Copies of this chain bind each other. A is one copy, B any other.
Amino acid sequence: MSEEKHSGGRPRDADAAASIKAATLKLVRERGYNKVSIAAIASAAGVARQTLYNRWSTKADLVLEAVFEETGHYADAPLHNPNKSCKLQLEAFLIQVFTHLKESGSPIRSLIAAAQDDPAFREALRERFVKPREVLVIDLLQRAQDQGELSRTRDVKMLSNFIHGAFWYALLNGEPVDARLARDIANEIFVA
């Protein structure tokens, strides 16, 4: 499954991808997406620029993979805890997502920016970042409806859009994305 056919030809350097991703993550976190050049990443990883383009077609693709290598990881822990109310589970989930954003929010904003002029990359970002979180939130809201914590009259898909939209809006407008926002969102979604 992870083995490509490779019927002849020089094999890819086994370590290159890992060292490129490591250099990318390090440099992007230190200096920011736009202040890191592909040349600097290749140099730090000890490879030629073309080696990098053999594996990722754009800078955005590379940074996406470097930043989200461990994902789901940031999008599944605190769900489905039957001891807490769904409202508190939502708040905990958002706090977890926002904690991740504290570390990676800046490159993620740059990735959202890059997606605006590259439909293929927008789809990749959607698969990697957007959809997994939508699924978790929608599932949580449906459980809340099943347990009577949320009215059946509410449109869970639109509520999910409200939730994600609210933090995207804050993120992209440079407003704080923190525990307070998580609490305010959860309170307003589960308003009596």
Contacts and interface: CB of A to CB of B under 8 A. Distances in A.
A122 B166 contact: no
A172 B116 contact: yes
A189 to B, nearest CB: 9
A11 interface: no
A188 B155 CA distance: 7
Interface string A71-91: 000000000000000000000
A170 B115 CA distance: 13
Contacts of A126: 173
- What is the total number of copies of this protein in its complex? 2
A3 to B, nearest CB: 34
Contacts of A117: 32-34, 110, 113
Interface stretch (A19-27, A37-45, A61-69, A157-165): A157-165
Contacts of A168: 165, 168-169, 172
Nearest to A162: B162
Interface of A: 32-34, 109-110, 112-117, 119, 122, 126, 130, 151, 153-155, 158-159, 161-162, 164-170, 172-174, 184-185, 187-188, 191-192
